[in-house]
């Protein structure tokens, strides 16, 4: 059965927070976890509509926030004023490099970065919640950048 573990996690979270367990919320959860790569709330809504799933835009938006709260997905921002999400399920913490020419997003993991967010939060007297590290750059290799000039 698909996303069995995620369903459990989400169910527990909903119960603890006195949120109701509804079929719509699980439809959104499944579609979000199935989505390859980064997606906007509306992208997901379109995909679900195409699959003839019955959800409203409002429910998609609201449920995605719940999924972020229970850490099944992450919220991202790549500098274009668009909220993007990605599944956390079975994935390592990583950061992003965005090509300023073509918008391509490359994920990377750098060990030198891993302890810094917690360390800096501590130094400043804060409790770390999350971090976002984005590098904006240009492809050196023209062939890899579809919109390279």
Partner DNA sequence: ATTGCTGCAAAACGTTTGCACCTAT
Partner DNA sequence: ATAGGTGCAAACGTTTTGCAGCAAT
Alpha carbons 66 and 73: distance in angstroms, whole number: 9
Asked whether position 18 contacts DNA by CB under 7 A, the answer is: yes
Closest to DNA by CB, 23 or 37: 23
Q: Going by C-beta distance under 8 Å and a sequence separation of 6 or more, which residues neighbour residue 144?
A: 104
SS3 sequence of 58-89: HHHHHHHHHHHHCCCEEEEECCCCCEEEEECC
Query: Which listed residue (135, 142, 146, 147) binds a second copy by CB under 8 A?
Result: 135
Contact 13, 29 (CB under 8 A): no
Closest to DNA by CB, 61 or 117: 61
Stretch binding a second copy (CB under 8 A), from 4-12, 29-37, 45-53, 133-141: 133-141
Alpha carbons 39 and 35: distance in angstroms, whole number: 7
Closest to a second copy by CB, 91 or 131: 131
Note the residues at the interface with a second copy (CB under 8 A).
75, 77, 79, 81-83, 97, 99-100, 106, 108, 110, 112-113, 116-117, 120-121, 123-141, 144
Note the residues at the interface with DNA (CB under 7 A).
18-25, 40-42, 54-59, 61-63, 81-83
């Amino acid at each position: 059965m698909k996303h069995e573990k995620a369903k459990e996690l989400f169910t527990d979270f909903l119960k603890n927070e006195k949120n109701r367990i509804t079929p719509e919320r699980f439809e959104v959860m499944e579609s979000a976890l199935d989505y390859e790569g980064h997606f906007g709330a509306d992208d997901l809504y379109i995909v679900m509509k195409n699959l003839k799933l019955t959800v409203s835009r409002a429910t998609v938006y609201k449920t995605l926030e719940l999924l972020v709260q229970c850490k099944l997905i992450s919220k991202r921002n790549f500098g274009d004023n668009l909220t993007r999400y990605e599944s956390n399920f079975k994935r390592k913490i990583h950061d992003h490099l965005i090509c300023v020419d073509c918008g391509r997003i490359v994920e990377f993991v750098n060990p030198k970065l891993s302890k810094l967010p917690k360390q800096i939060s501590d130094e400043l007297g804060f409790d770390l919640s999350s971090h976002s590290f984005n590098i904006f750059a240009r492809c050196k290799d023209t062939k890899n950048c579809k919109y390279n000039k």
